[in-house]
Amino acid sequence: MLNGMNLQIYGRRNFERILELGIHTLHPEKREKFERGFAAYKRIDVLDGEEARHLILQQLATGPKTYDELAAALGKARTTIQSHHIPILEKQGLVKRAGKRGQAWTFELR
């Protein structure tokens, strides 16, 4: 609680960091609740970055795709594909812009 506000913890990495720093021990009444929450924390069907980029490459192997098509196929947000995964694949020299379909950029394998 910060100034009477509850702070939410998102992501396993954040749980692990709080545990590592021992922050949860600063408030004895919250320790048990934190440890229960940490033990129960599970992310199901979440792709890590390498898996997501591998699936993007598989999608592009069938032909050019837009950000929206890739996002729908992977079940990820368009912004994640656009601002994170495609730039990484472009820097690695694996994909390139193929042109536009309407107003949407399409990408293909190099």
What CATH number does residue 74 fall under?
1.10.10.10
Q: Do both 54 and 89 map to the same domain?
A: yes
* Cα 36 → chain centroid: 24
DSSP line for the chain? -BTTB-----SHHHHHHHHHHTGGGGSHHHHHHHHHHHHH----S---HHHHHHHHHHHHTTS-EEHHHHHHHHT--HHHIIIIIHHHHHHTTSEEEEEEETTEEEEEE-
User: What is the count of structural domains for the chain?
Assistant: 2
Token pair, residue 52, equals 């997501």
Q: Do both 53 and 102 map to the same domain?
A: yes
What's the domain range around 19?
1-44
From first to last of its 110 residues, what are the pLDDT tens digits of the chain? 444 545 566 677 777 777 787 776 777 777 777 777 766 665 555 567 888 899 999 999 999 999 999 999 888 888 989 999 999 999 999 999 999 999 999 999 99
